[in-house]
Amino acid sequence: MKAAVVGHPIAHSQSPTIHGHWLESTGIAGTYEALDLHPDAFADEIRALVERGFQGVNVTVPHKEAALALADTTDETARRIGASNTLVFTQGKIQARNTDAYGFWENLAPSLTGQTPKRALVLGAGGAARAVLVALQDAGVQDIVLANRTLSRAQALADELAVSARIEPLSWDDAESLMDQQMLPLIINTSSRGMKGENPITCTLAAQTSQTVVNDIVYNPLQTALLQSAEVRGCRTVDGLGMLLHQARPAFQAFFGGRVVVDAGLRHKVERRMGLV
């Protein structure tokens, strides 16, 4: 059995480490490789992998929208998110799935102590925010404030993705004031701010308490400035690495048929490979 992750560039991808760990732990006879596919050749290269008997591929930047467009069928979540991170090949056909919303929620849920918050503040309105907004609504969050540096992008995303929740667009500055003035049960950073090489999020979270859960989906660094501020306030904090690990589980199962878990051994392996510890 053969699977791969495809992107351009691809050297940064942790998927070979994650799937390699699971192939080893399950003893399944399979291979998982990283393939750098140029956008101009994407569709042809994917069809060639189908012909070569691959079970499927994980898809990363910049191919997630192209993957959705290429597929013969699309699952409901990928359609709503508007992008696919997993292509599954069955009997010569390509099915587009998206497991980012699943990975996000699996990582966050244990910190919510069994209760879905009614309200959440989401920072950022890029590709990752789409999966987060879908997951929050599926989990029953009813009131979402969506803040973005470019307000028009938050407005457009709110218009497109609001189904079961109210999504209120907000400017970045107003979101910083909100975090200082009003206790929020859940704050999620989906923007690239705080990522290695980008400006950190330096707000003080003055109104947040131990009742607030703060999740930064950025995982490099693991402990972002936002999570440090949250810890100072006594909030529960969740880093982004678990989302990356959990989104891979349904893909592994689809490619190789094995049930796998995200455990400390896998997490440490990825942390070491990325130089995070």
Catalytic residues: 64
Q: How far apart are CA 30 and CA 209, in angstroms?
A: 47
8 binds ligand NAP (CB under 6 A): no
Measured from the CB atom, is 100 or 254 closer to ligand NAP?
100
Coil, strand or helix: which one is 80? helix
- Pick out residues in 10-69 that bind ligand NAP (CB under 6 A): none
Contact between residue 122 and residue 129 where contact means Cβ atoms under 8 Å apart: yes
What DSSP line would sit under 111-129, residue for residue? GGTT---SEEEEE--SHHH
Binding mask 211-230 for ligand NAP (x = CB under 6 A): ------xxx-----------
Q: How far apart are CA 114 and CA 68, in angstroms?
A: 33
Q: How far apart are CA 234 and CA 241, in angstroms?
A: 21
Contact between residue 13 and residue 34 where contact means Cβ atoms under 8 Å apart: yes
Q: How far is the CB of 256 from ligand NAP (least distance, A)?
A: 21
Q: How far is the CB of 126 from ligand NAP (least distance, A)?
A: 2
Which residues does 152 contact at the CB level (< 8 Å), separation at least 6? none
Bridge partners, 277 (sequence order) = none
Binding mask 139-178 for ligand NAP (x = CB under 6 A): ---------xxx--x------------------x------
192 binds ligand NAP (CB under 6 A): yes
Measured from the CB atom, is 95 or 216 closer to ligand NAP?
216
119 binds ligand NAP (CB under 6 A): no
Q: How far is the CB of 225 from ligand NAP (least distance, A)?
A: 12
243 binds ligand NAP (CB under 6 A): yes
Return the residue matching tokens 């099915």: 95
193 binds ligand NAP (CB under 6 A): yes
Q: How far is the CB of 133 from ligand NAP (least distance, A)?
A: 11
How crowded is the C-beta side of 121, counted as CA atoms within 13 Å?
25
Q: Contact positions toward ligand NAP, by CB under 6 A? A: 124-129, 148-150, 153, 172, 190-193, 195, 198-199, 217-219, 240, 243-244, 247
